[in-house]
Structure 1
Amino acid sequence: MRFLILATVFSFFQFATVVLVQAAPQEHHVHQRMGSHGMVLFTDGQDLYASHLPLYRAPHDYQIVYEVTSSLKAEIVTFLIEKESATLNDGRAKLTLLPMPFDLNRLVEGEAFAINATVFKGHFEREGEVWKENTEFHFVKQVYKRQVALSVASTKKDFPSRAKAESNWERFALSGSDKALYIYRIQNRPSFDAIVLGEKCPELPRLPSIASRTPSVKQLRSAFEQCYESRTIYFETADFAL
């Protein structure tokens, strides 16, 4: 009888251990990217987009671009167009978005959802000015995602339109126009984050390469001089410096 009780207790602990081991990784995966995830807002003149401001470390270790919308969309798009026309294509963030804390894995996995956020004129971490508070934004559709790490690893499915190895740019055609988004794949330090809106540009492998790993905005613009028209939407080096 004593042997039977001991065997039963041992079997129970074996079962409990298996359940805990199996459940723990899933729990970790679900919550590992909770935090405050700042984004830069930009427009192609019609639609509104949010680009996550990535870092090399979790929970911010993803380049993600989403199409977003809001009841303030028309006002925001008009502001961005006017501001970008007045700032000579300098690549600085015109508007940044700071949603309430959430799990970035929701965007990584392509989820559509709504969340309240604050809109800042300028960069919210660099003396940006609060413009709109407690505004609901809808994350409509994932445009791009790529994990960023000091040892960069990628999977083919994360690069639906990956160009040849000669280029570190991703191109995403915008429906209904000759314009496309060009997103730079952040490399190991030193590197940079950049988004360019280009119209009638050469094919990606034929775009001039950028010699410097930390170029100036002028060098960045020169890589797109062969386009009919181009605009540097966002350009950041400080977060990816040595």
Structure 2
Amino acid sequence: MKHILLLFILLSSAALANTPQHNSQNTHKAHSYVGFHGMALILAGDKVLASHMPLYAPPHDYQIVYEVTTSDTHFNTIKSVLKKAANEQRQITILPTKFDLNLLINKKTPTLNVTVFNSHFERGGKALFTTKLTFKNPLYIEKITTNKAQKNAFELIKLTAQQGLVIHKIQSKPSYDSLSLVPLSRGEYNGELKCDAALNTSIDTVLISKLEACFKSVPSYLETKDFAIN
């Protein structure tokens, strides 16, 4: 009888071991960050920056900015395209092949196949060419939170001793995603890191003017539609 009871316990333990458990690892897989993650490109001096185009919901609820590079001849082409786009106040975006955003969240340096688009890749943008980009230097990684009362918070990222990047932190709706290049003096920013530029109008030009007045430069990137109330 004792042998039968022992056998029953061993069989029960084996069955439990093979039963999927609702642990943190399985929960993480249920909230996968694998997907198509579009990004905006901007030119900052000799650096090319890629900014993840976030949304409020997973798998896109992270603001991420990386310095990117490529070893092929397309890098000079990218710089030329970005310089022209900046002069004409146009967007240049990229769409990498499907990948896990956790690579960037965890500050890895992957090389990804990307398609470069003239304008927004989801809003009529024209594909220009494909290339490989290496995400070589993480500059800013922040999960979007919507439970903070302050809606106009900014972060300053030092790019060089002469140039910085001001990032608007996306919080509760309505909000916006913006990147503004600002001059630094020996690595220090002499302006104020604040701006009363809440998204209270559907006209982007009003918001652009407010940000320009605050940071003395037109935003290099601005997105409002994805962060409006509706």
TM over 0.5: yes
| Number of residues of Structure 1 aligned to a counterpart in Structure 2 | 219
The corresponding residue for 2:25 is 26
Shift of 1:182: 0.4
Cα distance in 2, alignment partners of residues 107 and 130 from structure 1: 24
**Aligned counterpart in structure 2 of residue 119 of structure 1, from 116, 120, 142:** 116
**TM-superposition CA deviations, 1:81-112 (whole Å, max 9, x none):** 1221233xxxx52x111000001111100000
Residues 1:8 and 2:10 aligned together: yes
**TM-superposition CA deviations, 1:118-150 (whole Å, max 9, x none):** 1111100000001012x1111111110111144
- Pairwise mapping of residues 1-242 of structure 1 onto structure 2 (< 5 A)? 1-17=3-19, 20-21=20-21, 24-29=23-28, 32-70=32-70, 71=72, 72-87=74-89, 92-93=90-91, 95-133=92-130, 135-151=131-147, 168-177=153-162, 179-200=163-184, 202-205=190-193, 207-214=194-201, 216-225=204-213, 227=215, 229-242=216-229
Cα distance in 2, alignment partners of residues 59 and 68 from structure 1: 21
- 32-41 vs 1-10, greater mean Cα deviation: 1-10
Cα distance in 2, alignment partners of residues 114 and 48 from structure 1: 15
The alignment partner of 2:93 has SS state of strand
**Structure 2: gaps of 5 or more residues:** none
The alignment partner of 2:68 has SS state of strand
The alignment partner of 1:232 has SS state of coil
**TM-superposition CA deviations, 1:182-220 (whole Å, max 9, x none):** 000012111111111112454444x44225455733444
The alignment partner of 1:115 has SS state of strand
Percent of aligned positions with the same letter in both sequences?
A: 33
**Structure 1: gaps of 5 or more residues:** 154-164
Question: In 2, are the aligned partners of 1:167 and 1:204 still within 8 Å (CA)?
Answer: no
Question: In 2, are the aligned partners of 1:221 and 1:232 still within 8 Å (CA)?
Answer: no
The alignment partner of 1:230 has SS state of coil
Question: In 1, are the aligned partners of 2:114 and 2:133 still within 8 Å (CA)?
Answer: yes
| TM norm structure 1 | 0.80
RMSD over equivalenced CA pairs, Å: 2.5
Letter in 2 for 1:125: E
